[in-house]
């Protein structure tokens, strides 16, 4: 069975090339992509090149950057800050990717069903969405983590569970906009089932804004994980940037590098992902391509 699809909205080779050209023209977005690639390279290859246990005491406490055995100094226990940055970034990126995937999966499913079916299905799903939306996400995530052991899996699931309402609303709006267009009606008229219409006809045509939302969800998840770890609700057995800041917060004024270094790492990581998201938003904007 052949299903009509809005070809202009699909990522054809020419469309992908044009989107990449638009992305490269955005200097801030391209700089964000380069910055994120550097961070990703440091996080992946760094621990293999700089083989220092982030929990090991390597020197006296509060060694300043550039002095002693630790290039970026040590914390209040004498642990290597650089080792903590290289190893801690893995957890933040894993949680960001995992929680972002959960966020978008729940949001897309709820939003797609709500926007496609409408009626009582839309009312029920939107009431559930509003219930989660009015709850403070950070407090809800703290409650979930507190009820279970604070492991990487628990933290990832808790962040994903509390962050999906915006993605659901975005998906719902896109489905409501597209479901009555001609190519959807043509597919319906030749006998396409509802599942085929939702996942094979409509969803591919509303992917661009969802891809942008996925990048922002990943950045938001990194901030969430850092906040939980800073408050002592992260996994104490796995190094993370938020854990480094939380354990050294009482010494922030006396030993600025213990909290500034991981804080800068979080800032640049989230900034790079946000810039990439802005660039993708512009690259997928058909009206801007026609200028």
Domain residues of the chain, as ranges?
14-50+62-289
- Say if residue 184's pLDDT is above 80: yes
- What's CA 68's distance to the chain center, in Å? 36
The three-class DSSP label of residue 150 is coil
The three-class DSSP label of residue 118 is coil
The pLDDT value given to residue 17:
78
Task: Kindly tell me the burial class for residue 260, based on how many C-beta atoms sit within 10 Å of its own C-beta (0-12, 13-18, 19 or more).
Answer: middle
Band (192; pLDDT cuts 50, 70, 90)? confident
- Say if residue 11's pLDDT is above 90: no
CB 6 within 8 A of CB 12: no
Residue 29's nearest CA partner among 291, 207, 271, 285 is 271
Find tokens 């939702």 and name the residue. 198
- What per-residue string of b and e applies to 145-178 under the rule 16 or more CB within 10 Å gives b? beeeebebebbbbbbbbbbbbbbbbbbbebbeeb
CB 6 within 8 A of CB 183: yes
Report the range out of 58-72, 135-149, 253-267, 276-290 with the highest average pLDDT: 253-267
The three-class DSSP label of residue 78 is coil
Residue 24's nearest CA partner among 282, 286, 290 is 282
- Say if residue 285's pLDDT is above 90: no
In this structure, what token pair is assigned to residue 267?
């800032």
pLDDT tens for each residue of 23-50: 888 899 999 999 999 999 999 999 999 9
In sequence order, what are the residues at sequence separation of 6 or more whose Cβ sits closer than 8 angstroms to the Cβ of residue 93? Answer: 40, 43, 222, 269
The pLDDT value given to residue 187:
87
Share of the chain above pLDDT 90, in %: 58
pLDDT tens for each residue of 113-172: 999 998 999 999 999 999 988 888 888 888 888 888 888 899 999 999 999 999 999 999
Cα 133–Cα 181–Cα 164 angle in degrees, nearest 5: 15
Q: Match domain 14-50+62-289 to its CATH number in 1.10.3720.10, 3.40.50.300, 2.70.50.60, 3.40.47.10.
A: 1.10.3720.10
Mean pLDDT value across residues 241-256: 92
DSSP per-residue codes, 19-74? HHHHHHH-HHHHHHHHHHHHHHHHHHHHHHHS---TTSB-SSTTPPTTSTT-TT-B
C-alpha to C-alpha distance for 144 and 155, rounded to whole angstroms: 8
């Amino acid at each position: 069975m052949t299903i009509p699809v809005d070809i202009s909205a699909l990522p054809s080779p020419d469309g992908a090339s044009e989107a990449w050209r638009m992305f490269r023209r955005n200097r801030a977005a391209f700089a964000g992509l380069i910055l994120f690639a550097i961070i990703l390279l440091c996080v992946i290859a760094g621990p293999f090149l700089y083989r220092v246990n982030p929990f090991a005491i390597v020197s006296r406490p509060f060694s300043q950057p550039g002095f002693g055995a630790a290039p970026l100094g040590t914390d209040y226990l004498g642990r290597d800050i650089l080792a903590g940055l290289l190893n801690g970034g893995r957890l933040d990126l894993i949680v960001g990717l995992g929680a972002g995937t959960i966020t978008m999966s729940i949001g897309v499913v709820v939003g797609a069903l709500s926007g496609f079916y409408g009626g009582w299905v839309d009312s029920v799903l939107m009431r559930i969405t509003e219930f989660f939306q009015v709850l403070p996400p950070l407090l809800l995530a703290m409650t979930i983590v507190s009820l279970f052991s604070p492991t990487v899996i628990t933290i990832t699931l808790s962040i994903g569970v509390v962050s999906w309402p915006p993605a659901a609303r975005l998906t719902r709006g896109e489905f409501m906009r597209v479901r009555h267009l001609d190519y959807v009606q043509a597919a319906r008229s030749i006998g396409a089932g509802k599942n085929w219409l939702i996942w094979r006809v409509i969803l591919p045509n509303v992917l661009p804004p969802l891809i942008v939302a996925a990048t922002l969800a990943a950045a938001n998840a990194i901030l969430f994980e850092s906040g939980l770890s800073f408050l002592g609700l992260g996994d104490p057995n796995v190094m993370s940037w938020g854990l480094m800041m939380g354990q050294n917060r009482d010494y922030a004024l006396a030993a600025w590098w213990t909290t500034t270094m991981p804080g800068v790492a979080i800032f640049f990581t989230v900034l790079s992902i946000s810039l990439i998201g802005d660039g993708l938003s512009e690259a997928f904007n058909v009206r801007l391509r026609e200028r």
